Amino acid sequence: MNSWLSKDKIKSLFVFLFLILISIITVIWGNRLSLTQNNIRVWNWLNVAILFIGLPFILLQKEAGLPEVLQSSVTTKQRFFQPLFIGLLFGILDIIVIRLILHPQPYDSLPPFLQPFPYSIFLFTSGSLEIEIFYRLVPITAFLLLGRLIFKGKYSNIIFWIAAIITSLREPIEQWPSGATWFIVYATISGITMNLFQAVYFRKAGFLASLSVRWGHYLIWHILLGIYVQYWELAA
């Protein structure tokens, strides 16, 4: 047992529990904030509880042929900077297309996809964790583990790409947009592409790299745009 629960796995466990702690803070903060402000998106304890479904999978990354969460061979650039930059680019694209082209008029209140700062940091960090657990961590790890069990390590590359493509289709389908045809095409292609980048970085640099892509996108689209609307548009 001690040889299996390596230092890398213990680090992975602590990182995962730290991210859970952020979600716990989100529940407490959001519910208190909703008592004094309208349109606050809140989490409940069930939202936190289901995150623990990811716990056994975060401890099986090596067995699935994936990097451990803080594997020493993965550089900070690979784990954070590169994927974060990719996410920032997708966030900027969404600002240009959705905010500047489709909705250039100022808001008179915070829309649901924007929340008061700094609560927004905790809410969207928790939301990104939930998405990455169920869009990447659980399904791709399960696919690869099952493939190793059935094919004894063969076809791992093919199995990964099948899992990557399937999981990359989920978010665009679940959040199928309405509106002009060109916007539906944009939203679908950008959604699939970003999710594919996340799958690639998940395999290349681990779970935090996949999260970093989404953090970059959320930083622009949810947090910084929210700050602008809250402190500039609504203040004016």
What secondary structure letter does DSSP report for 117? Answer: T
Question: Residue 153: pLDDT band by 50, 70, 90 thresholds?
Answer: confident
- 164 in a structural domain: yes
- 2 in a structural domain: no
Domain count, the chain: 1
The pLDDT tens digits for 84-96 are: 999 999 999 999 9
- 1 in a structural domain: no
User: What is the distance between the alpha carbons of residues 198 and 208, in angstroms, rounded to a whole number?
Assistant: 10
User: What is the distance between the alpha carbons of residues 5 and 206, in angstroms, rounded to a whole number?
Assistant: 18
- 195 in a structural domain: yes
What secondary structure letter does DSSP report for 100? Answer: I
* Structure-token pair, residue 161: 């790409």
- 98 in a structural domain: yes
Where do the H-state alpha helices sit in the chain?
Answer: 7-33, 45-51, 55-58, 76, 82-94, 119-132, 138-151, 156-174, 181-205, 207-218, 225-228
Q: What is the mean pLDDT of residues 70-84?
A: 97
What is the torsion angle, in degrees rounded to the nearest 10, for the CA atoms of residue 177, residue 183, residue 185 and residue 190? -80
- 75 in a structural domain: yes
Closest to 139 (Cα-Cα) out of 173, 172, 164, 175: 164
Question: Residue 1: pLDDT band by 50, 70, 90 thresholds?
Answer: very low
Least confident of 46-60, 130-144, 171-185: 171-185
Q: Do 225 and 99 meet the contact criterion of CB atoms below 8 Å apart?
A: yes
Alpha-carbon torsion (184, 185, 189, 194), positive or negative: negative
Q: What percent of the chain has pLDDT over 90?
A: 92
Which domain does 111 fall in, by range?
Answer: 7-233
- 110 in a structural domain: yes
pLDDT on residue 168: 97
Q: What is the mean pLDDT of residues 185-211?
A: 98
The overall average pLDDT reported for the chain is: 95
Q: Is the pLDDT of residue 163 over 50?
A: yes
